[in-house]
Amino acid sequence: MRLTAQMTLAVAILFAIVCGSVAITGFLSLGDLTDPKVHSDALGFAWFWTFLTAVAVVFAAISWGIMRKEKGEA
């Protein structure tokens, strides 16, 4: 299966939005936790989704760069 740069950009942006919202929800829910073990696990969970957001942003930037290069704007 071959993906175009535009499709990859769109999917990466959508994935970044979803992952970012999960990460923000995770960080915002930390205040409600009282058990230190659960708090630590939830913090790790939120940072993992933040990492996935960063990966999606990198792929979106790469796709955007490819699209610019193909159009001769780079």
Q: Dump pLDDT digits (tens) for 48-57.
A: 999 999 999 9
CA distances in angstroms from 23 to 26, 45, 66, listed in the order given = 5, 8, 28
Rg of the Cα trace of the chain? 17
Tokens representing residue 72 in the block: 């001769």
Q: Dump pLDDT digits (tens) for 19-39.
A: 999 999 999 999 888 899 999
Q: CA-CA distance, 18 to 54, in Å (whole number)? A: 12
Amino acid (one-letter) located at 61:
A
Q: State the pTM of this model.
A: 0.85
Domain definitions of the chain by residue range: 8-18+40-74
Q: CA-CA distance, 70 to 74, in Å (whole number)? A: 8
